[in-house]
């Protein structure tokens, strides 16, 4: 899957999805650094679940972008739902003290808010095209 995903990323047909890809990429890099510092009791289960969901979001983004307009809606909807699940776990990590309030605010303001807006806009666009 690795090479196929890279080909899809570099051949993205919709240029407006590149900023979304770069935001997810940056978020995953940032989370890898934070989760590395989780206590051992959380690093290999809860931390890995957060990373798994973030990678799943990235995979869904790439898959949705490769589909035809008629097929995109269900994949973008799944991306939106998966991103919501990711946000819940991230919030739990902050409340459990696994990431600091400062780190959580940074993630929220620099990544989550922008990614959420882009996914929401893409979902709205796909609904419009899906209903036609």
Q: How is 48-79 classified by DSSP, letter by letter?
A: HHHHHHHHHHHHHHHHHHHS-HHHHHHHHHHH
Mean pLDDT of the region 23-30: 96
CATH assignment at residue 47: 1.20.1440.60
6 has pLDDT over 70 = no
Please indicate, yes or no, if residue 12 is contained in any of the structural domains: no
Residue 11 lies in a domain: no
Question: Is 1 part of a structural domain of the chain?
Answer: no
43: tokens are 């690093």
pLDDT category of residue 77 using cuts at 50, 70 and 90: very high
Model confidence over 47-60: pLDDT tens digits?
Answer: 999 999 999 999 99
Closest listed residue to residue 47, CA positions, set 82, 96, 81, 101 = 96
Q: Report percent pLDDT > 90 for the chain.
A: 75
Counting residues of the chain whose pLDDT is more than 70, the rounded percentage is: 85
pLDDT recorded at residue 131: 65
For the chain, the domain total comes to 1
**What pLDDT score was predicted for residue 129?**
77
8 domain residue, yes or no: no
Task: With respect to residue 40, please indicate whether it lies within any of the assigned structural domains.
Answer: yes
Q: Which has more confidence, 130 or 37?
A: 37
Q: 115 lies in a domain? A: yes
In a domain, 72, yes or no: yes
Cα–Cα–Cα angle for 116, 120, 126, rounded to 5 degrees:
145
Question: Considering the domain boundaries, does residue 21 fall inside one?
Answer: yes
Count the residues in the chain: 132
Range of the domain at 41: 17-131
Instruction: Please answer whether residues 94 and 101 qualify as being in contact, where contact means their C-beta atoms are separated by less than 8 angstroms.
Output: yes
């Amino acid at each position: 899957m690795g090479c196929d995903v890279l080909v899809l990323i570099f051949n993205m047909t919709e240029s407006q999805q590149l900023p979304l890809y770069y935001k997810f990429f940056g978020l995953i890099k940032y989370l890898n650094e934070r989760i590395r510092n989780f206590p051992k009791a959380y690093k290999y289960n809860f931390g890995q679940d957060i990373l798994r969901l973030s990678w799943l979001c990235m995979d869904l983004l790439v898959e949705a972008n490769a589909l035809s307009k008629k097929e995109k809606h269900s994949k973008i909807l799944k991306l939106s739902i998966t991103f919501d699940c990711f946000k819940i776990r991230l919030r739990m990590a902050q409340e459990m003290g696994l990431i600091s309030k400062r780190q959580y605010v940074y993630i929220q303001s620099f990544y989550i808010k922008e990614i959420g807006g882009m996914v929401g806009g893409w979902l709205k666009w796909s609904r419009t095209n899906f209903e036609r």
